[in-house]
Amino acid sequence: MTVVRSMEIWGDTVEAGTCLDDECRARVTFAVNVKTGRRNIFTGRLVALRTERDPASGREIWIVDASDSHFATCPGAERFRQRRTGR
């Protein structure tokens, strides 16, 4: 049995783009994490495993596969992490 680690993102924040790393330049999808409020980056087109509605705001929440995170495959992932943490 395969276990899927999921993540909740706001459905209205999903947008297509391109990785900014010069070595990568992959097609990616950006979306804001419901719990952290931070923008996450995913490889390729993001597909919701299922959707829910936030009872307080009525906004759509997408439950997605967390393993689709672009940082798992991007050659420039460490450079982006360093920039974010100020190292």
The ranges assigned to domains in the chain are: 6-85
Q: What CA–CA distance (Å, rounded) separates 28 from 23? A: 14
Distances, alpha carbon 81 to alpha carbons 6, 77, 85, 87, in Å: 21, 6, 6, 9
pLDDT of residue 87: 47
Q: Is the pLDDT of residue 86 over 60?
A: no
- The whole-number average pLDDT for the span 73-78 is 83
Q: Given pLDDT bands bounded at 50, 70 and 90, which one contains residue 75? A: confident
Q: Given pLDDT bands bounded at 50, 70 and 90, which one contains residue 1? A: low
Q: What is the mean pLDDT of the chain?
A: 87
